[in-house]
Amino acid sequence: MTGSLSEKTTAGARYRTPVPENAVAVWRMVLDEPMLDDNSSYHYRLWFRDFAETFMVATVGDDIVGFLTGSRRPDAPDTFFIWQAAVKPGTGISGLGIDLLAHAIDVQLATGAKYVETSVSRQNKAILMLLHMVATTYEADTRTEPLFRTEDLPDGDHDEVLHRIGPLNRRT
Output the pTM of the full model.
0.89
Indicate the range of 66-70, 126-130, 143-147 predicted with least confidence: 126-130
User: Which residue, among 83, 49, 90, 46, has the nearest Cα to 67 in the 3D structure?
Assistant: 83
What distance lies between CA 15 and its chain's CA centroid? 12
Measured CA to CA, the distance from residue 143 to residue 113 in angstroms comes to 17
Is residue 4 over pLDDT 80? no
Burial of 148 (0-12, 13-18, 19+ CB in 10 A): middle
User: Which residue, among 84, 107, 108, has the nearest Cα to 4 in the 3D structure?
Assistant: 107
CATH number of 8-166: 3.40.630.30
pLDDT-based confidence at residue 28 (cuts at 50, 70, 90): very high
pLDDT 10s digits, 87-143: 998 888 888 999 999 999 999 999 999 999 999 888 888 889 999 999 999 999 999
